Structure 1
Amino acid sequence: MIHSDLGADVEYDARSNTYRFQRGEHCETNTSTAVVTAVAEAVDREPTELEPLEEQIDSDALDMFFDPDASENGRDRACRVTFPFAGCEVTVNQGRSIVVSAPE
């Protein structure tokens, strides 16, 4: 396990070519920014080199459902969303994890 610039622990699974970013309890980075950072790390590019996240998903909605204070706003934290982004498949889960299936 390694620690990323995102403030998350990262596990890489070579069999499935996936990266699992587990954001720490005190990570205050919003979910949409965390997704961009995680994908950039997985594909070894700068976040500014990636397409805008908004071309694939509503980043405000992503933040609303998955940011740390979402449960305080009455949102159901038991949800998951999967979408394509920058040639990867991204899954954001409850519990502050982001899974990135990197391209081959």
Structure 2
Amino acid sequence: MKDTDYHAGRGGPSSDEHRFEWDEDAPPSVAVIEAVASISDRDPIELDPLHGYVDPDALDAIFERDDANPVIGRVSFRFEEHLVVVNSAGEILVYPP
């Protein structure tokens, strides 16, 4: 997962937005946990369980990549106190509280 923070004046819409990329090495559910841990400056194991906010298996299934039937869309939810947006382009946006 790659963290590419965007800040006002540097190409992003919000000074509070943190942008991460996920790839096939880790499912979106794992990438969300890593992203929120990263901007919270916490170990991923210290976070609340993701399943208390969204079904991790369903999240992964929504964005399962299939060249024959590509998925286009996004899902947003709260995780801990952060707004998380996962999109089919392999991007996760995290907005701090």
Could you say which structure has the higher strand fraction? 1
Where do 1:13-52 residues align within 5 Å?
13=7, 15-24=14-23, 27-52=24-49
**What does residue 4 of structure 1 align with?**
none
Consecutive unaligned residues in structure 1, runs of 5 or more: 1-6
Q: Secondary structure at the match of 2:54?
A: coil
Q: Which runs of 4+ in 1 moved over 4 A?
A: none
TM-score, L = length of structure 2: 0.83
Could you say which structure has the higher helix fraction? 1
- The 3 A distance-change label for structure 1 pair 73 and 85 is farther
Aligned letter for 1:48?
I
Give the number of aligned pairs. 92
TM-score, L = length of structure 1: 0.78
Q: 1:16–1:101: 8 Å Cα contact kept in structure 2?
A: no
Aligned letter for 2:26?
T
**What does residue 98 of structure 1 align with?**
92
Where do 1:49-60 residues align within 5 Å?
49-60=46-57
Tell me how large the CA RMSD over aligned residues is: 1.9
Q: Deviations over 1:24-74 (max 9, x none)?
A: 5xx41111000000000011111111100000001001011124xx32584
Consecutive unaligned residues in structure 2, runs of 5 or more: 9-13
Aligned letter for 1:20?
R
